[in-house]
Amino acid sequence: TLLHLHVFSFCLYFIFLNKSASFKQMECFNAEIPADGVVNSIETEEISENVVKADETTLANGEDEAGKAGEEYAYLERNEFTSEIFKVEVKNMGYFGIGEFKKLLRNTLKFDVTKIKAPTRKEFAFVCFRSQEDQQRALEILNGYKWKGKVLKAHVAKASADPLQKKRAAEEQESERKPKKQRTAVEATCPLSHIAYDQQIKQKSEEMSALLAKYTQELRKVNPRAKPHLDKFQFHEVLPSPTVNGYRNKNEFTVGKNSVGEVVVGFRLGCYSDGSVEVAEVADLPHLPEQAKWAARSFQDLVRKSKFLPFNPDGNIGHFRQLMVRCSSATGELMLVAGIYSSNLSEDEQVELKQELKSFYEDLANDAPYKCSSLYYQDVKHREAGQTINPVEHISGSTHITDTIQGLQFRISPLAFFQINTEGANVLYQKAIDLVAPTKDTTMLDICCGTGTITLAFAKHCKKVMGVEIVPDAIKDAEFNAEANGIKNAKFFTGNADDFIKSMVREALYDQEPGKPLDLIAVVDPPRAGLHHRSIAAIRSADAINRLVYVSCNPHSAKRNFIELARPESKQYKGEPFYPKSAVAVDMFPHTMHTELVILFEREPKTKADEKSSPAEGAAQSKSEATEEAVSEENTTSVT
């Protein structure tokens, strides 16, 4: 009986334990807590705290991302005009060319357009306007407008993000994974300076040969009739520069800060759109003359002492923005053009800053190794509608400097084009003269003549020379230079090249003796982007021009022009093609990747075989030109 009692008691205790455990498990289940006692409860509290912290971090990150996004669009809130505010996206366009779309907007619809962006030239484009009224008018007209068999759709578009802020945000994320090495000033501006100069020439010769081989190969496809001419085409060599170090007579320095936050006047190590605003000093750069280095250091001292601030593109704050330096190896003259961002300066403050510039360089003249002989103030801010250059104001000293090429003296104004390597220009111009071989019966047209350096260099070899240039001050310099050098057979025109080519040809024909054949040559030395296709068309249509010398400071960009000159005759390019005969390059830019190329083009009279070319060939050619017109328009808008 006693044994039965003990067994019964044990069973009751066991049942009680099981019920307690079950009840405890139920409580834990309802509370979503593991049934492992106090230890696990503590872990659960820690988990809960971590979840709260994670939520707070996510919220903070969200706010941070929003802040970064806000920084990318902060420029829209500045007290400055930006057409990104009045932006429209046009859709359902099909394939189109920038040129024809511009004509639709500006000529047909009479829109006041500030900017057109078409990343793919297919289906859509972005158009920016000057005001909300213009934007609204465009929306009403373009939405449902029929163009090229398509019904266009238009709606308000979001402004583009600031490329600097966008790049910085990306770099912050990237820097967490791997650090980025910044380039030095030498690496950014003189990438070949570590190579012996004879090796630089060899490398550039190989690159130029490869470029011309690619060009001639492409031309064989575009114009099969060019084959016999291309078989005879010769590239001679890259000629070295007489001056290898300190050859640049013009430099544009940026005012900014270096990697440790010091105010510096030097070269930017990258571009704004790539997210870089860091500026490095120029003391170690081999291609700058000592005059230019001194100019950068002296201006740097001025900026550091001044109450006015260095300009910062990140927010468009500050005042000192840039310094253009021009110096003459012939006379030792030094011209400084201080670029000032005046949008946040009152008129009185501008007067004060100009006086500060004048006094600083006047006081510096007695003790400095170099002297500022010409000082200008340039208002560098957002350009107004129709404004092509930032205006300059003479402050002190002479208004010009003088340099010498081919034994001729040239007066140079602040904004005029002049070859940056004076000694190299002597070689370059002589080679151009040798290639085309003018005579006393030759009339020469200089298209994009600048201050008339090439025009006047040819003058003593020709019967008459004529030049055209879009910058009025450059033409004034050219006319002065002709008179100062006693040259009587030169004439200059101000305006777009394509507007004056035909009139210059007519004048050459008018001056020609009756019954005597006209020997008319043209020389073009355009900006880096090359000639506008309208200028090429004007040259092609001028049948009297039988030889052409093309001087290119950027052969990679000019290759498009080379093809346009040698295409078969078509609706767009009337007149016989110009075929390349020979070429030579001059190393105008030692220590850099750039080379100046001179090509002689000639054309032959039309033959009976040419007149029998099939209409289908002409139609195919016109279609090919139409597809390339977009690139031509975009790359050369600024040239004319």
Binding-site positions for S-adenosyl-L-methionine read 419, 469, 525
Q: Is 448 a catalytic residue?
A: no
What the block records as the tokens of 167 is 């790049």
> For residue 326, what are the β-bridge partners?
250, 335
Rounded to 5°, angle at Cα 271 from 211 and 71: 145
Does the CA dihedral 163-169-175-178 come out positive or negative?
Answer: negative
358 vs 340: CA distance, rounded Å: 14
Print burial letters for 446-463: b (CB count within 10 Å at least 16), e (below 16). bbbbbbbbbbbbbbbebb
Print burial letters for 186-205: b (CB count within 10 Å at least 16), e (below 16). bebbbebbeeebeebbeebb
Find the helix packing angle between 555-566 and 615-636, rounded to 10°: 150
What the block records as the tokens of 578 is 């110009």
Of 265, 310, 312, 305, nearest in space to 285 by CA: 265
The tokens 């980025």 sit on which residue?
Answer: 180
The tokens 């070949």 sit on which residue?
Answer: 192
- Virtual torsion, Cα 429, 431, 436, 438, nearest 10 deg: 60
Does the CA dihedral 14-16-22-25 come out positive or negative?
Answer: negative
The tokens 């900017």 sit on which residue?
Answer: 115
CB 406 within 8 A of CB 429: yes
What the block records as the tokens of 27 is 């409580």
Catalytic residue among 128, 190, 327, 553: 553
Residues in the chain: 640
**Quick count: other Cβ atoms within 10 Å of Cβ 170?**
11
What the block records as the tokens of 313 is 């593109």
Query: Coil, strand or helix: which one is 38?
Result: helix
**Quick count: other Cβ atoms within 10 Å of Cβ 635?**
17
CB 432 within 8 A of CB 455: no
CB 566 within 8 A of CB 221: no
The tokens 């012996």 sit on which residue?
Answer: 196
Which whole-number Å values give the CA distances from 240 to 251, 528, 620, in the listed order?
21, 21, 43
What the block records as the tokens of 220 is 């064989």
Residues with Cβ within 8 Å of 59's Cβ and at least 6 positions away in sequence, in order, are: none
Bind-site residues: 419, 469, 525
Q: Which residue numbers are catalytic?
A: 553
